[in-house]
Amino acid sequence: MITRGLRTRTLTIRTSDGSVAARNVASAAIANSGQVVQTLRLPNPRRWDIQNPYRYTLCSTLRFHGVVRDAVETKFGVRTVAFTPDDGFHLNGRRVQLRGVNLHHDQGVLGARTLPRAMERQLDILKDMGCNAIRTSHNTPAPELAEFCDQKGLLVYAEVFDKWGKAAGYPAQPTEFVQTHAEAEIRNAVLRDRNHPSVVVYSMGNEIGEIEADRWKNSEQLVRLMRDSFRKYDPTRPVTFGCFSPGSLRKNRRIMLPLDATSWNYGRKYLDARDIYPEKGVIYSESASAVSTRGFYELPLPLNKSDYSGGLQVDSYDFNAAWGRNVRDIPDWEFHRMEQDRYVAGEFVWTGFDYLGEPTPYQKTARSSYFGIVDLCGIPKDRYYLYRSHWAPEETTVHILPHWNWPERKGQTVPVFVYTNGDEAELFVNGRSQGRQRKRDRAAALDTSTHNQALNKPARASSQLRVGWWPRTANCANDGSSFFGWTAGSLEMPQWWQVDLGKMTAIAQCRIHWEAQADLYTCDLLTSDDGTRWHKAAGQQDFTNQGDQAVATLNANTRFLKVHITRVKGVAGDEQQPGNPRNRGRDSREWAEGSPDPRFAGIREIDLRAPGDEEKENPYYRVVDYYRLRWMDVPCEPGELKVVAYKQNRKIGERVVKTAGPPAALRLTPDRNRIHADGDDLSYVLVEMVDRDGVPCPRADHHVAFSVRGPAEIAGIGNGNPMEFDCLADARHPLFFGKAMLVLRSRRGLSGMVTITAKCDGITAATATVTTE
């Protein structure tokens, strides 16, 4: 039987206060099913923006013979976005620098389940740091993410896939995956999220090696198919994917033609894309990969970014990055690049929070990552305040590190770093000034190559490797950039590299930036006046190794200098060597396709300095003085460490760190004292050990027993220790550098007072209350 009748659909756009901004009524006599196309015009719309995330509500009402049969409300925002080739990202017609992070789906101690409050808390912490964008690495997130980002004014780089085919655990080739499954996944993701104004770009994948290397010779076709699937359901947003291998551009320049913008991971790899696709916008989809452990400080400071501790933690002086080599960096280098390369839309740091899995650099021993700016249970690391000082310059930030409990260093010195949005600060120890430091002007002095006597001088080598697109010639070792270097073309020894300085030149220091860790190489430095008769100026015993760099002091006056390499040990052993105070092992995964075999001799850059111009510190770290303040030799004595920060000679704030006495009491601090009794709402309770005066004890590792009375339960508990293997849902947990985090969850339908108690042998117990309602 066919039922005929009059169906009426009313579309109404309402403002945030409920008033009507636009309305359209359509009616039609229909048989079975039918479609009615309606268009609404919204005059002079108020724009959704990161500073004012304004949204309208579309009310769709369906009536049959005047009776309401269905009604749906959809929130949406009005804004324009563009990834321009020369001026970065534009939102509503103005340039906005993306200051973003990559965010994994897990909620740390709560595991993989999405609890809305846990996600909201993550975003609040990141927004306070100055973050304005989230990359959903590397899969479609829970629907609450885009909703929260809409509300909070955060931009979203929406990534639907990670790898394709075998790399993702799918047994078939990428072609079958794309043709058989991809569109269905894209359809689900896009239809769900396309009304969210926070979503500004879609990504079809991340570091897809098969595609970037064009192993099936149809990469461009597959990329085009994926792009078309996105456009089928949403033609308004650009499409990209995260790339890692610039070699793909040299092998097949057409691979990325279908993309609206190119995205690149690490090491300024976007430079090639800029040359080959000058018409496309550029996104820095993964940057930094710095690593650190909250609260862990070890001296002496690392000499190199891949100079990790033997204690299976990573120094929180923020001098370390993951996986060695030059493609990952400390935050300061990425700050510099984003200020220098203004055509790039901005960066997405790897990562905002620590996450379960991928425990680099200690792959075989830790449970969680060290990448996060915030630890696994949501406590900011020192690095958080470095980002905040640069990303939120209008907010006052004054942060001191390390703590000031160093009984083993009494009578010695301790480096003190300050992260501030100010431009200078004065440091005091027990009231005595340690001097006033000012951030250096970010100018040509950062370019250490201008002091290099070997820069761009004629170079030769015994042999050179030819691997695909990546240059490995002799002159790549003295071109001012350590990204490209010389690699020998043979395993035979000896190998050599030499430079002609053009005239007799006084040399006092030689710094060799090797392809791999410096202790894998054995070499001599030879000098010559005429390039034929050579004299030994330094032997292996004269070098000091600093990670992948080796430094020798010379007293030479020469025209020619030769690095004579007699041995390369090959791949380093397991990086997890207990007892090694400064482990210099490397992760073999970094020798990816297109990279040289580490058994070959290889120099990334060589730096020769004249007398009086020697580098006292690894030049890699010169950049930090543009973004941090450092006092390197502060006398270590118990008491008070105080810093007063200034901006344009006006005091903006101060910070005090005190030496704690013996642990005396526990302290509980809930982030929310009232939560909803819906069974999903949470209160994060910070647990701290303090002395009798309430000063935090930064080295306490006591085991604490917890109990909860009332209509709530422990949802999870952790302490931010990547090496922790305690249960994350028990009622007893150790502190890690004086802190832990208890997550309290309400019980559905039960309201009332909840009391949390924390106890520890010989320590005054602590209680806190939370109300569920």
Which has the higher per-residue pLDDT, 86 or 62? 86
Let me know if residue 46 belongs to a domain. Answer: yes
| Residue 521 and residue 567 in contact, taking contact as beta carbons nearer than 8 Å | yes
State the pLDDT at residue 378: 96
Alpha helices in 700-752 (DSSP H): none
CATH no. for residue 518? Answer: 2.60.120.260
Let me know if residue 83 belongs to a domain. Answer: no
Same domain? For 619 and 631 the reply is: no
- Cα 143 to the chain's mean position, in Å? 23
Let me know if residue 81 belongs to a domain. Answer: no
Let me know if residue 85 belongs to a domain. Answer: no
Same domain? For 292 and 153 the reply is: yes
Please check the confidence at residue 684 and state whether its pLDDT lies above 90. yes
State the pLDDT at residue 547: 77
Let me know if residue 321 belongs to a domain. Answer: yes
d(CA 56, CA 78): 8
- Among the listed ranges 44-48, 112-116, 190-194, which one has the minimum average pLDDT value? 112-116
| Residue 28 and residue 7 in contact, taking contact as beta carbons nearer than 8 Å | yes
Percent of the chain with pLDDT over 70: 91
State the pLDDT at residue 252: 67
Phi and psi (nearest 5°) for 330? -70, 160
Q: CB within 8 A of 73, min separation 6: which ones?
A: 57, 58, 59, 60
CATH no. for residue 692? Answer: 2.60.40.10
Let me know if residue 206 belongs to a domain. Answer: yes
Mean pLDDT of 336-363: 94
DSSP class per residue in 436-450: EEEPPP-SGGG-GGG
- Among the listed ranges 518-522, 607-611, 659-663, which one has the minimum average pLDDT value? 518-522
| Residue 571 and residue 588 in contact, taking contact as beta carbons nearer than 8 Å | yes
> Cβ-count burial of 505 within 10 angstroms (0-12 exposed, 13-18 middle, 19+ buried)?
middle
Same domain? For 310 and 364 the reply is: yes
| Alpha-carbon distances of 128 from 132, 152, 446, 560, 674, rounded to whole Å | 9, 11, 30, 55, 21
- Among the listed ranges 303-312, 336-345, 493-502, 521-530, which one has the minimum average pLDDT value? 303-312
Please check the confidence at residue 748 and state whether its pLDDT lies above 90. yes
State the pLDDT at residue 447: 60
Mean pLDDT of 352-362: 92
| Residue 724 and residue 718 in contact, taking contact as beta carbons nearer than 8 Å | yes
CATH no. for residue 185? Answer: 3.20.20.80
Same domain? For 23 and 145 the reply is: no
Mean pLDDT, the chain, whole residue set: 89
In this prediction, residue 303 has a pLDDT band, given cuts at 50, 70 and 90, of: confident
What are 72-82's pLDDT values in tens digits? 999 999 999 99
Same domain? For 233 and 141 the reply is: yes
Same domain? For 300 and 247 the reply is: yes
Closest CA to 486 of 514, 509, 508: 514
Let me know if residue 86 belongs to a domain. Answer: no
What are 399-437's pLDDT values in tens digits? 999 999 999 998 999 999 999 999 999 999 999 999 999
Residue owning tokens 């947990």:
733
| Strands (E) located in 671-731 | 674-675, 682-690, 703-709, 712-718
Residue type (1 letter), 564: H
Same domain? For 588 and 632 the reply is: no
State the pLDDT at residue 229: 96
- Among the listed ranges 104-113, 442-451, 645-654, which one has the minimum average pLDDT value? 442-451
d(CA 55, CA 679): 29
What are 245-275's pLDDT values in tens digits? 876 676 667 888 999 999 999 989 898 888 8
Alpha helices in 297-436 (DSSP H): 331-340, 382-391
Paired tokens of 582: 């400064």
- The residue out of 76, 108, 127 marking a domain boundary is 76
Same domain? For 317 and 421 the reply is: no
State the pLDDT at residue 1: 31
Which has the higher per-residue pLDDT, 25 or 190? 190
Q: How many CA atoms are closer than 13 Å to the CA of 721, on its beta-carbon side?
A: 22
Please check the confidence at residue 390 and state whether its pLDDT lies above 90. yes
For residue 72, give its domain range: 4-76
State the pLDDT at residue 217: 79
Helix (H, G, I), strand (E, B) or coil at 339: helix
Same domain? For 604 and 472 the reply is: yes
Same domain? For 274 and 351 the reply is: yes
- Among the listed ranges 222-231, 359-368, 444-453, 567-576, which one has the minimum average pLDDT value? 567-576
What are 23-77's pLDDT values in tens digits? 988 876 554 556 678 888 998 999 999 999 999 999 999 888 888 899 999 999 9
State the pLDDT at residue 250: 64
Q: How many CA atoms are closer than 13 Å to the CA of 370, on its beta-carbon side?
A: 29
Q: How many domains does the chain have?
A: 5
Same domain? For 528 and 647 the reply is: no
State the pLDDT at residue 382: 98
Mean pLDDT of 339-345: 95
d(CA 410, CA 283): 48
State the pLDDT at residue 581: 31
Please check the confidence at residue 653 and state whether its pLDDT lies above 70. yes
Mean pLDDT of 643-664: 98
In this prediction, residue 109 has a pLDDT band, given cuts at 50, 70 and 90, of: very high
Please check the confidence at residue 469 and state whether its pLDDT lies above 60. no
In this prediction, residue 480 has a pLDDT band, given cuts at 50, 70 and 90, of: confident
Same domain? For 237 and 285 the reply is: yes
